[in-house]
Structure formats: C-alpha cells, structure tokens
Amino acid sequence: MNDILIEAPVLFEERAARRGRRIGIATLNAPRALNGLSLDMARLLDEKLVAWAKDEAIAVVVLQGAGEKAFCAGGDLQGLYRGMLDYQVRGGWSGDPFLDPRGNVHAEAFFETEYRLDYRIHTYPKPILCWGHGIVMGGGIGLMAGASHRVVSERSRLAFPEITVGLFPDVGGSWVLNRVPARAGLFLALTGAPLSAGDALYAGMADHLIAETQRADVMAAACDTVWSDRAEDNHRQLSALLQGFGPETVAGPLQQHAELIASLCAHDELADVVSAVAAIEHQDPWLQTAKATLAAGSPGSARLGHELQRRTLSLSLADVFRLEYTVALHCAAHGDFAEGIRALLIDKDRNPQWNPSHLRQADRTWAATFFHAPWPEDQHPLADLGRTTGAHA
C-alpha cells in the first residue's frame, strides 16, 4: 500500500489543527518531471478540491510540489504531443483553419480539465495557500495564479515560456498578464522572461516571500491556529500568519527595467513592439536572453499572445478561459505547437521550423482562424463556468 501511495501522481494529506479543524494538503508528486501537470493529476486534484470545499472541517487548503526543484514546470507536453500525433494518424486537420478543430481527444480532455481546475482555484470558497517554490511555469502559474495566498521563496522562478514551444500563455495567462503593471505582461508573453521572487510580487503573481527553510514552520503555525467557521475570517487569519514570516523583498530585473519595458510595449502594433525589443542595447543578461528568446520563438505564438491580451481586456475570467480553450484546440490541430514540442523535447534538435516563419505572415487575419469557435456559445465545453460561483466571474 505504501508503494502505491508513493507513486500516486498527487498525494493528499489532512493534518489536524486546533478544535477539530484540519488542513488539507495536496502535493504534486512527479518530481523527476518537475511536477508537470498531467491529465490524471488535474483530475485527481479537482476531485479533491470539490470534496474539501464541502467538508466543513477543512479550514485551509495547501497546494505544493514534491522535490526541491519545482512546484510545477508546466503542463504535460509529452502527453499532448502523443495526442497530436494520434490526431494526425486518425485523419487530423483538414487544412481549412475555419473548420472544426475538434477530434484530438486528449487535448480536449486535458485543456477542459486543466482550465476547470484553474478556474475552481480562482473561485474557491476557502483559503488556498500555494507554495510556489523553484520553477513555476505555464501550467504551474495556472495553478498558482488563482490561489488566495501565493507564496514564493528565494529560489522561485516564474515564467510563461510558451513562445518557445509554439503555444501561448494559456491557463488564464491572458487574464494574469493583462494585470501586470505598465504593460509588462506583453513583454513577458513575448519573451518568456523569468521572474524572481521580488518581481513575482511586483507583477501581482505572488503575495508573500518566505524562505524555503521556513515552510515547515508555516505548516506548524497553521496547525496551531484556531480557525473560524467563516471563510472570510480564515482568509484574514492566513494572511496575518504568512506576514509574520516574510523577509524583505529584492527588486528583480522586471522592476529594475520597468521604464524601458514600458516604452518597448507602448506601441499599439505588435510589429513595432517586436522591433523595439530586437533593438535593445542594454547588456543586462536578463534583457539579452529575453531578446534572443523572442527572436528564436514562434511568430505565430507572439501574434496569438498579443491578440489574446488585446481581446480579453474587458472579459470576465470565465470568458477568458472559454476563449483560451478555443484557441488552444486550434493550436493542437494546426499551428506550431506540435513542432515546438518536437524540437524541444522529442528530437531535441532545438531547431523548430515555425510556420508562419515571420511575423508579417502571422498577421491578425491569420490569427483570426484560431478564434473560430466550432460550437454555439451555449454548447461550449466550458459554458457553465461563472454561472455557479461568484469570484472573478
């Protein structure tokens, strides 16, 4: 039995707190894969969150990752790649971008389950403490972004690196990045630039910086707290508890270069932003790496990331997830997603053949095909999001 538990993709534990309350702890348990979120992991976690929301004894939920390197380095790209290959073997995409992108069974299930899970975390009725240690990328930010209490430690590195694999910042990334100060969210989408703990706080992607060595002390304090019957009281208590551990923050490169980044992203047209980034002369390695990543990344991903931020400015969170789901299915049917994974993880030649190969070909007319919804609005697989929950809906 112990061997089975050790191999479980998500470990669940309930620790006793005072006066009969309990702390629910969910641990992503794939450390060798940097806790990359698989479909099974997403299903297990979503089911447990539903159960804990109904359990009156559970006062607080903790979400963390196993191992020392990562909370969650993203989604299960290997599984998505296998699904795309299977989709192509079974006939795949017809070649007409305005036709139905459905038929990739794994991609449909994965994105729907992942987005539902992320939305549940955003709208969860109880406090969720997400401990974002080490690498937190893509799907990891999707899990962390909606948590009520988001902790980073001194080694945390957050990023949306999808431009390197031919996708776009999904998992609500359009929502998250639109809220980064001074339009820097566009810079992060285009360059995949990583954020230090201090920059994650500045960008609004984290709430508390706590040393990794204090994680056990935080958990002990949570178990020694007298939690309330009222969720809103527990939110305040958890905030006060975490504030007692926080060291001083150090500004990272996103803050240090905030004025420059704001000027780069001030242009209305994507081509002008890309040209401005390409012209960066500052020799800071962080800026130079960002510049090189954009230059080598998928032009189609750059266009989709920009277009999604533009189109979602006034949308609710539920509508953002619905729109991203449509675009994600198109990316799994055509576009650069399969090629990006092949070059990075399968053949590992790091020489993706992007199509389109230049931004002038990946224009707004090209991007419009990815927003074509194959179902009536009331039949969208995520049509029910926002109808039964209130926060951010």
Q: Which two tokens stand for residue 372?
A: 């074509």
Residue 54 CB neighbour total at 10 angstroms: 9
Q: Taking 90 as the threshold, does the pLDDT of residue 257 lie above it?
A: yes
Helical spans, DSSP H, in 279-380 = 285-296, 299-311, 317-333, 337-341, 364-368
Order of all β-strands in the sheet with 135-137: 70-72, 135-137, 157-159
Write down the pLDDT at residue 100. 81
What mean pLDDT, rounded, does the chain reach? 94
The predicted model gives 164-189 an average pLDDT of 97
Query: Residue 226: what residue type?
Result: V
Residue 297 CB neighbour total at 10 angstroms: 24
Number of domains in the chain: 1
Predicted confidence band of residue 393 (pLDDT cuts 50, 70, 90): very low
pLDDT in tens, 159-174: 999 999 999 999 999 9
Domain for residue 385, yes or no?
Answer: no
Domain for residue 390, yes or no?
Answer: no
pLDDT in tens, 91-103: 776 666 667 888 8
Query: Which residue, among 159, 168, 171, has the nearest Cα to 301 in the 3D structure?
Result: 168
Domain for residue 392, yes or no?
Answer: no
Domain assignment of residue 297, given as a range: 2-379
Query: Which residue, among 356, 358, 299, 360, has the nearest Cα to 164 in the 3D structure?
Result: 299
With a pLDDT cut of 70, the percent of the chain lying above it is 95
Write down the pLDDT at residue 1. 38
What b/e string do you get for 134-170 counting C-beta neighbours within 10 Å, with b at 16 or more?
A: bbbbbbbbbbbbbbbbbbbbeebbbbbbbbbbbbbbb
CA distances from 5 to 47, 52, 108, 173 (A): 17, 19, 28, 32
Helical spans, DSSP H, in 55-196 = 77-89, 105-122, 139-145, 173-177, 184-191
Query: Residue 120: what residue type?
Result: R
Predicted confidence band of residue 4 (pLDDT cuts 50, 70, 90): very low
Order of all β-strands in the sheet with 149-152: 10-16, 22-28, 58-65, 128-132, 149-152, 208-209
Does residue 356 have a cis bond before it (omega within 30 degrees)? yes
Q: Which two tokens stand for residue 83?
A: 């699904």
Q: Taking 70 as the threshold, does the pLDDT of residue 390 lie above it?
A: no
pLDDT in tens, 325-369: 999 999 999 889 999 999 999 999 999 999 999 999 999 999 999
Predicted confidence band of residue 392 (pLDDT cuts 50, 70, 90): very low
Domain for residue 387, yes or no?
Answer: no
pLDDT in tens, 49-59: 999 999 999 99
Q: Taking 60 as the threshold, does the pLDDT of residue 386 lie above it?
A: yes
CATH number for the domain that contains residue 249: 3.90.226.10
Query: Which residue, among 264, 356, 372, 374, has the nearest Cα to 303 in the 3D structure?
Result: 356
Domain for residue 81, yes or no?
Answer: yes
pLDDT in tens, 22-49: 999 999 999 999 999 999 999 999 999 9
Q: Which two tokens stand for residue 8?
A: 């479980």
Exposure of 284 in the CB half-sphere (CA atoms within 13 A)? 14
CA distance 40 to 390: 27
